[in-house]
Structure 1
Amino acid sequence: MPSSPRRTTLAAVAASAGLSVATVSKVLNGRSDVAPATRSLVQSLLLEHGYVPRASRRAQEARPATVEVWVDGELCAYSTEIIKGAIEAGAESGVGVVVTHMKADDDASWVGDLVAAGRLAMIILANEPTSAQVAALSLAQLPVVVVDPPNPPAGPVSSVGSTNFAGGLSATQHLLALGHRRIAYLGGPANAASNQARMQGYRAAMEAAGVPVPPEYVRTAGFCYPDGMKEATALLELPSPPTAVFAVSDECAAAAMQVARARGLRIPEDLSVVGFDDTEIATMTSPQLTTVRQPLREMGKVALRTALRLASGEKIESHHVELATELVVRESSLAA
Structure 2
Amino acid sequence: MACSIRDVAKMAGVSVGTVSRVINGFDNIAPERIDAVREAIRVLGYRKNSAAQLLAGRRGGSRLRTGNIGLWMAEMGNEWSSNSIYINYLSGIEEVCARRGCHVLLEHTSAADGIPRCVHDGKVDGLIVKAVNDIPPVLGELARQLPVIGLSMLERDIPIAQVSTDDHRAGEQVCRYLWERGHRRIAFVSMRCHHRMFLARLQGYEEFLRARDAFDPELVQSALPGPNPNLPEKEFPDMSGPLEALLRLPEPPTAVIAANDWMAAGFYEAMEQRKLRVPEDLSVVGFDHLANLFLRPRLTSYETPMRGMGAAAAEWIIDMIEHGDSATGPTFRMVNGEIVVHESVSDGVAG
Query: Which band: TM-score by shorter chain?
Result: 0.7 to 0.9
Q: Contact 1:152 / 1:193 at 8 angstroms: preserved in 2?
A: no
Q: For residues 125 and 188 of structure 1, do their structure 2 counterparts lie closer, same or farther at Cα, with a shift above 3 Å needed?
A: farther
Q: Contact 1:309 / 1:316 at 8 angstroms: preserved in 2?
A: no
Deviation for aligned residue 1:208: 2.7
- Once the two structures are superposed, residues 212-267 of structure 1 have per-residue CA deviations (whole angstroms, 9 ceiling, x without a partner) of 3133523276697679633x211221212433211111111122112211211111
The residue that corresponds to 2:308 in the other structure is 298
* Aligned match for 2:261, one of 235, 243, 250: 250
72-81 or 326-335, which deviates more? 72-81
Deviation for aligned residue 1:291: 0.8
Mapped to 1, the partners of 2:301 and 2:343 lie a distance apart of 10
Deviation for aligned residue 1:161: 0.9
SS at match of 1:174: helix
Which runs of structure 2 are paired with 1:92-171 in the superposition (5 Å)? 92-106=99-113, 108=114, 110-111=115-116, 113-116=118-121, 118-127=123-132, 129-131=135-137, 133-134=138-139, 136-138=141-143, 141-149=145-153, 151-155=155-159, 157-171=160-174
315-324 or 216-225, which deviates more? 216-225
Structure 1 residue identity aligned to 2:254: T
Q: For residues 98 and 234 of structure 1, do their structure 2 counterparts lie closer, same or farther at Cα, with a shift above 3 Å needed?
A: same
Q: For residues 297 and 237 of structure 1, do their structure 2 counterparts lie closer, same or farther at Cα, with a shift above 3 Å needed?
A: same
Q: Contact 1:290 / 1:331 at 8 angstroms: preserved in 2?
A: yes
* Aligned match for 1:77, one of 67, 70, 84: 84
Mapped to 2, the partners of 1:77 and 1:306 lie a distance apart of 23
Q: For residues 216 and 324 of structure 1, do their structure 2 counterparts lie closer, same or farther at Cα, with a shift above 3 Å needed?
A: closer
- Once the two structures are superposed, residues 82-140 of structure 1 have per-residue CA deviations (whole angstroms, 9 ceiling, x without a partner) of 1111111111112122333234253x2x4465242511222222445433x2255246x
Q: For residues 229 and 181 of structure 1, do their structure 2 counterparts lie closer, same or farther at Cα, with a shift above 3 Å needed?
A: farther
The residue that corresponds to 1:184 in the other structure is 187
Q: Which has the larger radius of gyration?
A: 1
| More helix as a share of residues | 1
Aligned Cα root-mean-square deviation (Å): 3.6
Deviation for aligned residue 1:199: 0.8
Deviation for aligned residue 1:200: 1.3
Mapped to 2, the partners of 1:229 and 1:61 lie a distance apart of 45
Deviation for aligned residue 1:207: 1.7
Deviation for aligned residue 1:292: 0.9
* Aligned match for 1:322, one of 316, 334, 338: 334
Which runs of 5 or more structure 2 residues have no equivalent in the other structure?
1-40
Q: For residues 275 and 147 of structure 1, do their structure 2 counterparts lie closer, same or farther at Cα, with a shift above 3 Å needed?
A: same
* Aligned match for 1:89, one of 82, 96, 103: 96
Q: For residues 294 and 206 of structure 1, do their structure 2 counterparts lie closer, same or farther at Cα, with a shift above 3 Å needed?
A: same
Mapped to 1, the partners of 2:163 and 2:130 lie a distance apart of 10
Which runs of structure 2 are paired with 1:275-294 in the superposition (5 Å)? 275-279=286-290, 281-282=291-292, 284-294=294-304
- TM-score (norm: length of structure 1): 0.73
Structure 2 residue identity aligned to 1:332: S
The residue that corresponds to 1:260 in the other structure is 271
Mapped to 1, the partners of 2:215 and 2:139 lie a distance apart of 43
Deviation for aligned residue 1:324: 2.0
**Quick check: 1:269 aligned with 2:280?**
yes
Mapped to 1, the partners of 2:313 and 2:104 lie a distance apart of 12
Structure 2 residue identity aligned to 1:130: P
SS at match of 2:286: strand
SS at match of 2:163: strand
The percentage of counterpart residues that share the same residue type is 24
Q: Contact 2:97 / 2:314 at 8 angstroms: preserved in 1?
A: yes
| Residue-pair matches, total | 291
Structure 1 residue identity aligned to 2:313: A
Structure 1 residue identity aligned to 2:146: L
Mapped to 2, the partners of 1:119 and 1:78 lie a distance apart of 24
Q: Contact 1:288 / 1:330 at 8 angstroms: preserved in 2?
A: yes
Q: Contact 1:84 / 1:297 at 8 angstroms: preserved in 2?
A: yes
Q: Contact 1:111 / 1:137 at 8 angstroms: preserved in 2?
A: no
Q: For residues 113 and 55 of structure 1, do their structure 2 counterparts lie closer, same or farther at Cα, with a shift above 3 Å needed?
A: farther
SS at match of 1:119: coil
Mapped to 2, the partners of 1:175 and 1:37 lie a distance apart of 54
Q: For residues 52 and 315 of structure 1, do their structure 2 counterparts lie closer, same or farther at Cα, with a shift above 3 Å needed?
A: closer
